[in-house]
Amino acid sequence: MQFAGTVTIDAPRAEVWKFLTDPHAVGRCAPGLESLEIVIPDKQFKAVAAVGFGSVSVKFSVDVEWVELDPPNRGKLKGRGSAPGSAVEGSSEMILRDLPNGSTDMDWSADVVVFGTIASLASRLMGSLTRRLTGDFFNCVKAKIEG
Amino acid sequence: MQFAGTVTIDAPRAEVWKFLTDPHAVGRCAPGLESLEIVIPDKQFKAVAAVGFGSVSVKFSVDVEWVELDPPNRGKLKGRGSAPGSAVEGSSEMILRDLPNGSTDMDWSADVVVFGTIASLASRLMGSLTRRLTGDFFNCVKAKIEG
Amino acid sequence: MAAVAIQGLGHPRKRVEDARFIRGKGNYIDDMKLPGMLQVDIVRSPYAHAKIKAIRTDKALAVPGVLAVITGETLKQYNVHNMPTLMSDTQMVLPLDTVKYQFQEVAAVLGTDRYTAADGVAAVEVDYEPLPVVVDPFKALEPGAPKVRDDKESNHIWHWEWGDRAAADKAFDAAEVTVKENIYIPRIHVASIETCGCVAQWNATEGHLTLYMTTQAPHAIRTVVALITGHLGLSEEKIRIVSPDIGGGFGGKVPAYPGYVIAVALSIVTGAPVKWIEDRTENMAADSFGRDYHISAELAGKKDGTLTALRFKTIADHGYTDAAANPSKMPAGLFHIATGSYDFKNAFVEVDGVYTNKPPGGIAYRCSFRVTEAVHTIERMADLMAHEVGLDPADFRMKNFIKPEQFPYKSALGWEYDSGNYAGALQKAMDMVGYKELRKEQAEKRKRGEFMGIGISSFTEIVGAGPSKDFDILGLKMFDSCEIRVHPTGKAIARFGTKSQGQGHETTYAQILAEELGIPADHIKIEEGDTDTAPYGLGTYASRSTPTAGAAAAMAARKVRAKAKKIAAHLLEAAEEDLQWEQGKFFVKGSPDRAKTIQEIAFAAYTNHPQGMEAGLEAVSYYDPPNLTFPFGSYICVVDIDRGTGEVKVRRFVAVDDCGVRINPMIVEGQIHGGLAMGFAPALMEEISYDENGNIHGSNFTDYLLPTAVETPKWETGETVTPSPHHPIGAKGVGESATVGAPAAIANAVVDALWHLGVRHVDIPITPPKVWALLKEHGAALEE
Amino acid sequence: MAAVAIQGLGHPRKRVEDARFIRGKGNYIDDMKLPGMLQVDIVRSPYAHAKIKAIRTDKALAVPGVLAVITGETLKQYNVHNMPTLMSDTQMVLPLDTVKYQFQEVAAVLGTDRYTAADGVAAVEVDYEPLPVVVDPFKALEPGAPKVRDDKESNHIWHWEWGDRAAADKAFDAAEVTVKENIYIPRIHVASIETCGCVAQWNATEGHLTLYMTTQAPHAIRTVVALITGHLGLSEEKIRIVSPDIGGGFGGKVPAYPGYVIAVALSIVTGAPVKWIEDRTENMAADSFGRDYHISAELAGKKDGTLTALRFKTIADHGYTDAAANPSKMPAGLFHIATGSYDFKNAFVEVDGVYTNKPPGGIAYRCSFRVTEAVHTIERMADLMAHEVGLDPADFRMKNFIKPEQFPYKSALGWEYDSGNYAGALQKAMDMVGYKELRKEQAEKRKRGEFMGIGISSFTEIVGAGPSKDFDILGLKMFDSCEIRVHPTGKAIARFGTKSQGQGHETTYAQILAEELGIPADHIKIEEGDTDTAPYGLGTYASRSTPTAGAAAAMAARKVRAKAKKIAAHLLEAAEEDLQWEQGKFFVKGSPDRAKTIQEIAFAAYTNHPQGMEAGLEAVSYYDPPNLTFPFGSYICVVDIDRGTGEVKVRRFVAVDDCGVRINPMIVEGQIHGGLAMGFAPALMEEISYDENGNIHGSNFTDYLLPTAVETPKWETGETVTPSPHHPIGAKGVGESATVGAPAAIANAVVDALWHLGVRHVDIPITPPKVWALLKEHGAALEE
């Protein structure tokens, strides 16, 4: 599944960058996040998050790696997660642009592939669910940065 | 099984008679007696008594009837009892005689037939057990009357 | 006591097995609770293709009540990590290093109960490295495609062909008319309400295994287990397979699945009984599938509509291992019945089996080894050709049918059809449905812009595998068997090598025996499914029970009757040749009162048999059918299509079946009703598909649509009776006819409804979105 | 894998059943625990004869967990308060109004478990009115004796006689010497360590009864149950009798006891499984007894010791009903084997059956229907005659034995003895024991006032009932059966109509089949005891298993071999007549390398049999023996008698048995050891007696003395082998020989020790008090 969008955040690019590359900061907006561990700062972190898809609820352990970091312009991360009977792989990219009014535009895109129980049991729900979760996530991010 | 014996009791015949024809009095000496009920005074009573034969212990319900009563000389009773899987039938007779010293001699005899579990399981023990029980019984009677 | 009715052939005897089924007293695998029984649950792969880098079991083993976690490495110590398939391919029980399809077994967790085992499964951690996935058999055949099997040269499994290619090509070259279509018969699942499972009970003291399992072929399973485990000392006399009541088989309970081997291994190791039961998704996603045939079909004919030749080329998607349940010499089953009910002079079929990253298979979906695929294709193509030459599909069929006088008929693909009256069945169906009036109605509606279609399917099945000359499974000939023992009081017990999964064998076999012996059916106890007691048989599938074991019943009964005649002669002090049989007794010809009933004879068999004759009254028959049987029928379906939703509404469905002599008309009727529902379902609803990552779609009853009573149309059934000339009682088998014959009638009706738009074909399942898209493509959809 | 040894005839194969027995993994009735199982316990009469005035159940029903109390009135509603005995007499299941022996069943209490049921039994109140009791059969025959049976004319049941009375009388009149003795063979009990019991499981949904019970004759029980309950609709195909492992039978588990009927009735009423298990006293006091024969025996002979005639007159005490387990036409069983090993020209035996207020009976105590009674009597009488004419008992026997060249020998009482070499067996026993030296030692000891005796018993048994011409039980011919099925991999399962109770059938039957087929015995699973699966048979008792079912095994195997030969011919492309059998394979004569093993042939029977031949490799044989078999032997016992205590010390016991061909010498040896112990026991220890009120003495193991390893002497065994000429493998059966033959050897030794005192006879059991009294009577007791 591929998703993309643009979010305008009423904050300077550096501030937005700082927030979005701090897993603990972002983590506060990640739905169902249960734990977060920095393995190598600015390089690798682990997260555990519970996600519910319809009647199916699973807890994913995800390993995330920054594969590109061009502060404060562009960041790309890849992740692979697993849950009992399910797995997820994906990458996500963000590009920050200054807006004339001092705000920052973030273009984001994500490519997520799910495998296993989640994929087979919940595929019908996946699209709408993901839209809802990303919507919530970016609203939260925006709110947190904009304070 | 037939048993007989003579017991000398240091008490006047009338007193001995009175004791021996009072089921409640005699009952205090009856081994394992659990309850006693006069149905018709001087005629019929019921008793419940537990008897142990070796490893076998049974509770007999016995109906007893005075078939002869010639106060204070001679008395005869018959009984029939039952317990789960067992039965007993018997008669007993006593003849009281004054002794010169004011004591009383009691000649007693008993004829007991057992049936069922008791008879088949405990027949080897029956003779010695009965001897012991009757011995205990008459010692008790003697003691109680002689007070 | 009033005399008990004999209830032989043709009697609508109530199903005796229903006494327990309708009271909830059936004995299914999951009803079994043995003292000390443990439960196994299985860790399955989320990936369709991946390398297993590590399996970490420490957290699982820490779950209270989890007793063991085993992997392929565990089984490898005993060389049982792999097992052979019925097609002599190799199937993993548990993998050593790679998984080949999604939901494949990866490890097994043994716990004290089902919940504990499931908790253990959730706690097993597996590290995978995903590998490239191929789910499309055409892509799998392309050069450079990801290789499914490390141990094979390519993804191409086998090529198989039948018929005279050159003659067919020549006929096509000379044809006045040809039609061609690509037809996909999608992957579906039998979706029995009871999933697969077993209880393995190892008796360490006796070195003996009892395996209670939901198998349609207990004896074959026993022999296979013995062949697999012989090196471990588990030889055939130490294995007992018991198949209790089965909640639906339909072909899905023929193969051996890894769960069985795992349960057995764990029972042997622990000494405790071990239960394994699939949940719904495991059943749908990991057991053998049905169909998945991509067929490129061509017919040739004359302008007058006479068919002259047939060419079918098929790509068969077998998933990651060829675990098809076919007769071993027939990798595409009986697909070469493809000439159907028509008198083709030339025919050629070829099939190529292909590996993909999908579950192993395939098995038949209530059908006799790929017969539905063949029937669906020829019946779809017949309609195409009919329309092409401008004939009404009914007229076209009548023109091309094999004629009654042509039987026994040798088909261009080599089969000898035993008997048939195809025109009779079609005519009866047309009469029942009011064909002409419907065509009139259709024409009127078409004028009004309403889409109504009429579809015919005049199918011919081929069932009752099969004659020992050609039919075997792993070498085992496909005979079947009946043993009957008559007790002193004239009651009897009979056992069979088949195994009912709902067919009503307990009822119908007793009727065959009752017919032959005159012992009331109610006095004959029927048993199947226990390899320790039943005579060897190849099991129940492919509509073979009546053609093989039903025949064995009659033959065994006749042997009993032959002995009974000798005893009667002794009792009546008459010569055998002077005795005459009348159902239930022998009497002296001309002196009907000098008679001995079968009950009197039975008592004498134990109390007063002739000196020199052995006591007892019993016989066994292992019946080797001289030929297959060829049930047939004509189905006519009338559909209305909703232009707003694309929904196909089956308004009428007339099914005229000819299965030869009907043992129990009520059961035949029931079988046809059930079969029609299972023909309707894949025509309109059922499909299992995969995304490009090998994720299954259709692994549960939310995504895989079974018809309920709400969706199922009202069936109108009729019959003709053309006995099989070679079967002892003339019966042919009917369990699968309707499943085989129905989908083409529905598909033909849909195409018939849309033909004037230019629609020539729709692959099943013909779902509302698919129809709506067609309508829209041709500008006929109603949009808001 | 190393080749598995065939282990055919003569191989001391370890008992395969011991694998479970010695691990405590046997499956006995009381091991059975079915879900929801209830337990029944029985109220029994303390009186030997009484009228039942009232049965009050209210207190019992108030016991928590007590579910029901049933009486004869309850059962009468279904007409099952009475049941027929095997001798067509009537036996109460539960009485309506009178009890006829002590411990008779009076009512039954159903509870949730054994303890509850027992509490319920204790709470049932029964009012009895005692009636006059007769326990002595002689008194029972006196005019005016209390009548045991209200439904009969008198206490005399039947008179039975055999032989030529007039000729015998004439021979006695002409005799130079006669001896006479009254011999009592007391009532004893088989006292199996496992008591009787059952679990009745009624399936209300299917109308089907499974009765797990400790029976030696499952099929006969099934037919009997069907005949009894037919009026209730419980017909034979709806009854399954399963006899699991049995902890000793010895004849006591042939009849049907009231407890079985009660358990069945309660299971039918409640729909729950119901267990009934006897406690020790119930088993000893209420089940069928053995023996209880009062025999007045006479022999006539010449002065030189030649026997000329025999007359035995017997009063047989059958208790309150004639529930003997005999062939139906033989009310005194095979008592007419009474001429034993001797060549009598004239013989006459008569027996009168009498009712008394004792338990019903009788059954054999590990013996073939009254054979011990006959053997004990003739062997005691032979010693009397030997002493009378002044011959050593060994010389006397040698003189009178039937000679080897006389076989087949027709006895004066009508039997045709199959084969024998009596002198050979006696000579071997004498050599083993050192007979001459012992006689010398005895003479010396007698001088010193020490009592040492040497006793001989040269018995002839008659076993293997029996030829269908004469032998039946309730009409059922006494054949027996074997079914064998060879699996594709060459392993096999075989089933029999018999039922092992410790005899080791699982081991020995497999050896017979292995011998005949060359399939290793370890690859043949043997089963018995399930009427649904085993071919009909009459069961195991009377040493009949080897003579009948063992023969059936060989015959069934030979049928299998005949088919195997056809398959081998097909495989080898040779003519059948050119094939030669060598254990385990057929080869082409002259080309030993052109061979097919039985395993290869078995696989071909399912995969490559000749066209036209049925698949499978199996056969059934119902074997009707042409004659009985006549095992024999000579036992010599040496005793020392303690003059102070009367104790008889068995110093030596040499047993030479000839049972024909020995299938498994180790098992034969074990059977003889066990049999000797069960001959020793009634000779010296076991007796059941009654007081004048009908109270039993000997209803428990404190009063009824079973020998343990401490009391049992060391046995010295030897063998001669005289095959049965009519048995397929020449075997005769040995399970009971020692029990039959041993008591006379011991009794003869005791009398021999005391002969010079004037002692001519001592009835068994020869207890210390009895011997001490004899010593005292003859002034020989040592007193303190």
pLDDT per residue over B15-49, tens digit each? 999 999 999 999 999 888 999 999 999 999 999 99
| Contact (CB<8Å) D122/B87 | no
CB C699 within 8 A of CB C363: no
Q: Which of C235, C236, C489 shows the shortest C-beta gap to D236? A: C489
Closest chain B residue by Cα to residue D699: B120
Domains and CATH numbers, chain C: 18-24+480-623 (3.30.365.10), 32-131+196-277 (3.90.1170.50), 290-465+627-777 (3.30.365.10)
CA distance A106 to chain C (A): 30
Q: Is D62 exposed, middle or buried (0-12, 13-18, 19+ CB in 10 A)?
A: exposed
Torsion angle defined by CA atoms of residues D13, D16, D20 and D23, in that order, rounded to the nearest 10 degrees:
20
How many CB atoms sit inside 10 A of residue D247's CB?
17
pLDDT in tens, B91-107: 999 999 999 999 999 99
Closest chain A residue by Cα to residue C121: A84
CA distance D265 to chain C (A): 21
B43: contact with D, CB 8 A cutoff: no
Q: Do chains B and D touch (3 or more CB pairs under 8 A)?
A: yes
CA distance B89 to chain D (A): 10
* DSSP 8-state assignment for residue D30: G
Supply the pLDDT for residue C197. 98
Q: Is B143 exposed, middle or buried (0-12, 13-18, 19+ CB in 10 A)?
A: exposed
In Å, what is the CA distance from C706 to each residue of C22, C697, D634? Answer: 22, 14, 80
Give this complex's ipTM. Answer: 0.92
C624: contact with D, CB 8 A cutoff: yes
pLDDT in tens, D382-413: 999 999 999 999 999 999 999 999 999 999 99
Contact residues on chain B for D693, CB-CB shorter than 8 A? 113, 115, 119
Q: What is the band of C231 on the pLDDT scale with cuts at 50, 70, 90? A: confident
C122: contact with D, CB 8 A cutoff: no
The percentage of residues in chain A with a pLDDT greater than 90, rounded to a whole number, is 65
Domains and CATH numbers, chain B: 2-146 (3.30.530.20)
Dihedrals φ, ψ of A73, to 5°? -100, -50
CA distance D119 to chain C (A): 28
Contact residues on chain D for B117, CB-CB shorter than 8 A? 46, 281
Mean per-residue pLDDT for A58-76? 93
Contact residues on chain A for C47, CB-CB shorter than 8 A? 87, 115-116
| Contact (CB<8Å) D693/B113 | yes
pLDDT in tens, C176-221: 999 999 999 999 999 999 999 999 999 999 999 999 999 999 999 9
Supply the pLDDT for residue B36. 93
Q: Which of D102, D121, D125 shows the shortest C-beta gap to B116? A: D102
| Contact (CB<8Å) D20/C205 | yes
CB C422 within 8 A of CB C401: yes
Handedness of CA C381, C383, C385, C388 (dihedral sign): negative
- Looking at this protein, which amino acid is placed at residue D108? A
**DSSP class per residue in C38-94:** EEEEEEE-SSSSEEEEEEE-HHHHTSTTEEEEEEHHHHHTTT-SEEE-TTS-EEESS
CA distance C67 to chain D (A): 24
Mean per-residue pLDDT for C728-733? 97
Counting DSSP H helices and E strands in chain C, the numbers are 19, 36
Lowest mean pLDDT among A83-97, C306-320, C343-357: A83-97
Supply the pLDDT for residue B128. 81
Residue spans of chain D under pLDDT 50 = 1
Per-chain mean pLDDT for chain B:
90
| Contact (CB<8Å) D46/B117 | yes
CB B49 within 8 A of CB B62: yes
Q: Which of C20, C237, C481 shows the shortest C-beta gap to D492? A: C237
Contact residues on chain A for C123, CB-CB shorter than 8 A? 84
pLDDT in tens, C562-577: 999 999 999 999 999 9
Active site residue D367: yes
Tokens of B23: 């089921």
Supply the pLDDT for residue D515. 98
Strand, helix or coil for residue C323: coil
| Buried/exposed C45-78: b ≥16 CB within 10 Å, e otherwise | bbbbbbebeebebeebeebeebbbbbbbebbeee
Neighboring chains of A (3 or more beta-carbon pairs < 8 A): C
In Å, what is the CA distance from D150 to each residue of D98, D135, D146, D317? Answer: 10, 16, 10, 18
- CA dist C504 and C510 (Å) reads 10
CB D587 within 8 A of CB D598: no
Among chain D, residues having any CB pair with chain B shorter than 8 Å are 43-48, 102-103, 121-126, 128, 130, 281, 285, 691, 693, 695-697, 699-700, 702-703
Closest chain D residue by Cα to residue C522: D237
Mean per-residue pLDDT for A71-98? 93
- Looking at this protein, which amino acid is placed at residue C297? A
Mean per-residue pLDDT for C465-483? 94
Active site residue C736: yes
Q: Do chains B and A touch (3 or more CB pairs under 8 A)?
A: no
CA distance C60 to chain A (A): 12
- Say what the pTM is: 0.95
Choice among C196, C198, C367, C482 that is catalytic: C367
* DSSP 8-state assignment for residue D477: E
Q: Which of A86, A115, A120 shows the shortest C-beta gap to C699? A: A120
Question: SS3 sequence, C512-559?
Answer: HHHHHHCCCHHHEEEEECECCCCCCCCCCCCCCHHHHHHHHHHHHHHH
pLDDT in tens, C309-346: 999 999 999 999 999 989 989 999 999 999 999 999 99
Contact residues on chain C for A122, CB-CB shorter than 8 A? none
Tokens of C552: 């064995």
Dihedrals φ, ψ of D20, to 5°? -90, -35
Supply the pLDDT for residue D2. 56
Tokens of A56: 């199916």
Strand, helix or coil for residue D490: coil
Query: Could you say which residues from 62 to 121 on chain C have a Cβ atom under 8 Å away from some Cβ of chain D?
Result: none
**The pairing of beta strand B74-83 with beta strand B56-70:** antiparallel
**DSSP class per residue in C549-591:** IIHHHHHHHHHHHHHHHHHHHHHHT--GGGEEEETTEEEETTE
Torsion angle defined by CA atoms of residues C504, C507, C510 and C512, in that order, rounded to the nearest 10 degrees:
-70
Supply the pLDDT for residue C2. 56
Mean per-residue pLDDT for C738-752? 98
Supply the pLDDT for residue D577. 97
Query: Could you say which residues from 236 to 275 on chain D have a Cβ atom under 8 Å away from some Cβ of chain C?
Result: 236-238
CA distance A26 to chain C (A): 27
| Contact (CB<8Å) D703/B124 | yes
CB A40 within 8 A of CB A54: no
Query: Could you say which residues from 626 to 665 on chain D have a Cβ atom under 8 Å away from some Cβ of chain C?
Result: none
Of the candidates D192, D193, D12, D17, the residue with the CA atom closest to the CA atom of residue D669: D12
Choice among D366, D370, D397, D495 that is catalytic: D366
- Looking at this protein, which amino acid is placed at residue D366? R
- CA dist B69 and D364 (Å) reads 55
Length of chain C: 784
CB D780 within 8 A of CB D643: yes
Contact residues on chain A for C700, CB-CB shorter than 8 A? 120-121
- CA dist A107 and A96 (Å) reads 6
Q: Which of D47, D699, D702 shows the shortest C-beta gap to B115? A: D47
Supply the pLDDT for residue D361. 79
Q: What is the band of A135 on the pLDDT scale with cuts at 50, 70, 90? A: confident
pLDDT at B119 over 90: no
Q: What is the band of C1 on the pLDDT scale with cuts at 50, 70, 90? A: very low
Dihedrals φ, ψ of C617, to 5°? -145, 95
Supply the pLDDT for residue D1. 44
Q: Which of D46, D693, D703 shows the shortest C-beta gap to B85? A: D46
Mean per-residue pLDDT for C292-308? 98
Contact residues on chain C for A117, CB-CB shorter than 8 A? 46, 281
Per-chain mean pLDDT for chain C:
96
How many CB atoms sit inside 10 A of residue C182's CB?
11
Q: At what angle do helices D737-754 and D665-684 cross, to 10 degrees?
A: 40
Contacts of C427 (CB under 8 A, 6+ apart): none
- Looking at this protein, which amino acid is placed at residue C317? D
How many CB atoms sit inside 10 A of residue B144's CB?
15
Bond into B100 cis (ω within 30): no
| Contact (CB<8Å) D693/B119 | yes
Active site residue D216: yes
pLDDT in tens, A31-55: 889 999 999 999 999 999 998 877 7
